[in-house]
Chain A
Amino acid sequence: MTVDSMARLAAANPVPDTPAVEPAERLRRLIEDDMPPIDLGDRRDGRSRIRRRALAGVVVAVGASAAGVLLTAGSSGPGVNVAAAAYAATAPQSGIVEAVFMVHIFRGSQAGGTLRQREWNDAAAGLRREMDTTTGPFGDTGETHVLESVSAPRRWESWSAGSEANVVTRVKVSRAARMNMAFGGISLTGVEGISLFRQLYRLGGMVLVGREHHEGRLLWKLESRPFSDANGRMLAVATHTRLIVLVDPKTFLPVTERQIDIALPGHPTVVESNLLSYGRYAGTESEGRLFDLATQHPGARVLTRTMVPRFRSMHGKRLIHKRR
């Protein structure tokens, strides 16, 4: 029986074969280019940007080809594969994406609260700025708080309105501890919600189930669901929750994302995020100021901290990683 369970676990291996990797020569060149110590700060690193752009290009190419295949092979009622089209519509591209969401929280400790989230993303440069305005139900006072944060290669910043001091906290992050926050989180708000949809789509877990009227518009309705691949392996991101995505029939943007609790009677909505606007524009060097909170809040005091990653050695000895 023990052998059985381990054999079953082994049979569920999602990557039974070794995948292809980039040539070593290219990685070595990137690493050597990476080596000179640079004082971390607001300065953008050109090499890193090239690398990120290359990676973003690969993602776009893979996304576009996947979408292309599915658009031709997987079309159904609407004439196109809606999930694939939504995936393609939200693919990272050069330039800056600006999006505004309104998030309503229905369950949990923040039930009754709303969050207006405005995001700027420069995926190629790894830059992301988020401005969150939260309202109630904190203490039933209907108070409003504003929190801004920026993640950039080797830099993370935050600023909050309502605090006693007008302070921008800037954390310099070493390369080894690079924070991959842009399009990285798994929550159900804002662009991150789009990120969740994209992850689910890549896993094959988003299906078209029909249409739904929403604020006077008829939108395509996608749902996440457990999915088994050709080998019978089951894929499911969550067993207790389901993501419902309403897609605009013209732009194929996911305009509403809703998380429902399928473990509770009536499958109540936990949180709903509505896309208010979504636009792309070409980014320039001057746009870097958009991702610098000290520039955005000129009267703020800047507190700078440096974060050094720590690794344990094989023998359990704690090492402080130092750059050359």
Chain B
Amino acid sequence: MSGHIVGVERRLRFELLYAKHAPAVKAYVLRRADVSTADDVLAEVFVVCWRRFDEVPADPLPWLLGVARRVLSTQRRGERRRGALRDRLAETASDSTDVTPEVGDGTLAGVADGAFAYVGAGALAGALARLSEADRELLLLIAWDELSPSRAATVLNVKPATVRVRLLRARRRLTQALAREESEPAPCSPLSMEAPS
């Protein structure tokens, strides 16, 4: 009976947590991946959340975003792995036992890379491209996901003090990169949207 009550209480808590934070998690994913991926990643994040519900901290959003970051990274690695697989086949024609994919090797593959699709080819995109992946990811967490440095630190799994220092430097580098981009504007060639008659 008590187990049943615990189960009901857990479900209620989970549903409240989902109702409160799922939109923000989905927005985080949509800023970095395409629409078709977002619902899949969101479901994945809350499956992890449900299974590790006892580990969810008092401020759950950064923790959830951290999970989303890992899920996205795993997906990106899957995409890259396929390209690498074909390259490797071409280079070595090695036996098939070598092609086992790896997951969860601790590195997060280009989570912020998808953001380029939305920023585009302007000075801002050029400036972002000049930054390191770590700088880009931190700046986007602050500017797009509106996290405080200490919450961003939870997402990135580093100390808040480290994030504050990195943020100062990343902002400076963004400003410098933006200035450099604007002094060298990229050419743009408009294309007709009309079909030929």
Binding site for B on A (CB under 8 A): 1-2, 4-6, 8-10, 12-15, 17-22, 24-25, 27-28, 30-31, 34, 51, 55, 58-59, 62, 76-78, 82, 109-110, 113, 115, 132, 134, 138, 143, 145, 147, 149, 156, 158-160, 162-165, 167-169, 171, 173, 175-181, 183-187, 192, 199, 202-203, 207-211, 220, 223, 225-228, 233-237, 239, 303, 305, 307, 309-314, 316, 318, 321, 324
Contact = CB atoms under 8 A, between A and B. Distances in A.
8 contacts: A9-B128, A138-B93, A143-B93, A158-B96, A179-B103, A207-B192, A210-B195, A237-B116
Contacts of B78: 179-181, 184-185
Contacts of A303: 97
A6 B31 contact: no
Interface string B31-62: 10011111110111011101100010100000
Contacts of B128: 9
A21 B22 contact: yes
A202 B34 contact: yes
Contact of A13 (B26, B31, B97): B31
A239 B197 CA distance: 30
B194 A9 contact: no
Interface in B86-123: 86-87, 89-91, 93-97, 99-101, 103-104, 106, 115-122
A177 B74 contact: yes
A85 B150 CA distance: 47
Interface of B: 11, 14-15, 18-19, 22-24, 26-27, 30-31, 34-40, 42-44, 46-48, 50-51, 55, 57, 63, 66-67, 70, 74-75, 78-79, 82-83, 85-87, 89-91, 93-97, 99-101, 103-104, 106, 115-122, 124-129, 139-140, 142-144, 146, 154, 157, 171-172, 174-175, 178-179, 186, 188, 191-197
A162 B171 CA distance: 52
A234 to B, nearest CB: 2
Contact of B96 (A6, A159, A180): A159
Given A24-B14, A314-B55, 19 more contacts: A6-B139, A9-B128, A27-B43, A77-B196, A163-B94, A164-B95, A179-B103, A180-B40, A187-B83, A208-B193, A234-B121, A237-B117, A303-B97, A305-B100, A307-B101, A309-B103, A311-B70, A312-B157, A314-B157
A55 B40 contact: yes
A14 B103 CA distance: 29
A36 B101 CA distance: 26
B11 A324 contact: no
B90 A9 contact: no
A96 B192 CA distance: 36
Contacts of A6: 139, 142-143, 171, 174
Contacts of A159: 96
A278 B119 CA distance: 34
B101 A171 contact: yes
Main secondary structure of the interface of A (DSSP, over half): mixed
B74 A163 contact: no
A1 B175 CA distance: 7
Contacts of B103: 173, 177, 179, 307, 309-310
Contacts, number: 260
Contacts of B157: 312, 314, 316
Contact of A209 (B35, B51, B55, B191): B191
Contacts of A19: 23, 26-27, 30, 38
Contacts of B34: 199, 202-203
Nearest to A167: B96
B132 to A, nearest CB: 15
Residue of A24, A305, A307 contacting most chain B CB atoms (<10 Å): A24
Contact of A184 (B79, B83, B95, B188): B79
Nearest to B43: A27
Nearest to B105: A310
A169 B90 contact: no
B66 A169 contact: no
A5 B14 contact: no
Nearest to A315: B157
Given A5-B174, A10-B143, A165 B95 contact: yes
Given A15-B31, A180-B75, A138 B90 contact: yes
